[in-house]
């Protein structure tokens, strides 16, 4: 069975997370898949950022929903990580899709659950569907979210795109299959912590594919693969043996 390694926020232990530098390193290390987080600016521009504020991973503070595309040029998203990355920007989704096409990388795009309201979430879904039209048909894609309402809406409007329900350990209850069916999800993306062999067996028996996040231990990754999981999301993709990185 094919075992997939997904670089979490790009090669995020080698370069600042969710930047073009981090995604560009995938090819160099033979990693075919990356995960990224997509959010929306005030003007509707889709950007790649885990947080909905600038505070943790840039040289500025404030909310993403208060800035526009023009502001991105004056925000440094790399110098917090290391001098070599000074001047790195928060990428737009458009830029990332170009990179994925050029470098033949596959994408797991996580739709962030927005605090700024349903209207902006609707716009995020619309703009995502529209921008994904620029993705080459040879590229593989999974769209995921912890927000299962948003994910179900995305799948309704883009039925041919594979989608994944994300669960944290404490939100993964006995109703997981009902949620999967509501979303018409192709994948379940459970949190690593607390995941057991029996739970993986239950998922697999239902016919769904399983990618586990975030696994930063090679022995644990091996155990999960032996239990039948299809992929793991990791911050240390470069440390995996070459059989996973061809």
Catalytic residues: 8, 50
Instruction: Mark residues 216-245: x for contact with ligand G3P by CB under 6 A, - for none.
Output: -----------------x------------
For ligand G3P, which residue of 22, 31, 35, 221 counts as binding (CB under 6 A)? 35
Q: Which does 144 bind (CB under 5 to 8 A by kind): Mg ion, ligand G3P, none?
A: ligand G3P
Q: Which of residues 112-171 bind Mg ion (CB under 5 A)?
A: none
For Mg ion, which residue of 76, 110, 153, 235 counts as binding (CB under 5 A)? 110
Interatomic CA distance for residues 206 and 219, integer angstroms? 26
Residue 37 binds ligand G3P, judged by CB under 6 A = yes
- Nearest to 132, CA basis, from 234, 12, 36, 242: 36
Q: Which does 189 bind (CB under 5 to 8 A by kind): Mg ion, ligand G3P, none?
A: ligand G3P
Residue 153 vs residues 118, 170, 189: alpha-carbon distances, Å: 11, 24, 18
Interatomic CA distance for residues 174 and 163, integer angstroms? 20
Residue 151 binds ligand G3P, judged by CB under 6 A = no
Query: Considering beta carbons, is residue 23 or 213 the nearer one to ligand G3P?
Result: 213
- Nearest to 36, CA basis, from 135, 133, 110: 110
Angle at 188 (CA atoms; ends 183, 191), nearest 5 degrees: 130
């Amino acid at each position: 069975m094919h075992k997939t390694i997904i670089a979490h926020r790009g090669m995020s232990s080698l370069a600042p997370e969710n930047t073009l530098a981090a995604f560009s390193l995938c090819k160099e290390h033979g990693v075919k898949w990356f995960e990224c987080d997509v959010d929306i600016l005030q003007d509707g521009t889709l950007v790649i950022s885990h947080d909905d504020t600038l505070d943790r991973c840039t040289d500025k503070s404030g909310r993403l929903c208060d800035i526009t595309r023009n502001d991105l040029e004056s925000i440094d998203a790399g110098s917090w990580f290391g001098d070599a990355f000074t001047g790195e920007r928060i990428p737009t989704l458009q830029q990332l899709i170009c990179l994925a096409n050029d470098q033949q990388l596959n994408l797991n795009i996580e739709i962030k659950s927005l605090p700024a309201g349903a209207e902006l979430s609707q716009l995020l879904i619309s703009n995502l569907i529209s921008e994904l039209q620029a993705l080459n048909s040879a590229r593989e894609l999974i769209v995921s979210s912890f927000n299962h309402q948003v994910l179900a809406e995305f799948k309704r409007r883009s039925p041919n795109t594979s989608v994944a329900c994300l669960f944290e350990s404490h939100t993964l209850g006995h109703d997981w299959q009902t949620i999967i069916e509501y979303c018409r999800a192709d994948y379940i993306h459970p949190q690593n912590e607390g995941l057991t062999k029996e739970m993986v067996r239950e998922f697999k028996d239902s016919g769904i594919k399983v990618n586990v996040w975030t696994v930063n231990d090679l022995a644990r990754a091996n155990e999960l693969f032996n239990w039948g999981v299809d992929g793991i999301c990791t911050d240390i993709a470069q440390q995996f043996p070459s059989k996973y990185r061809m």
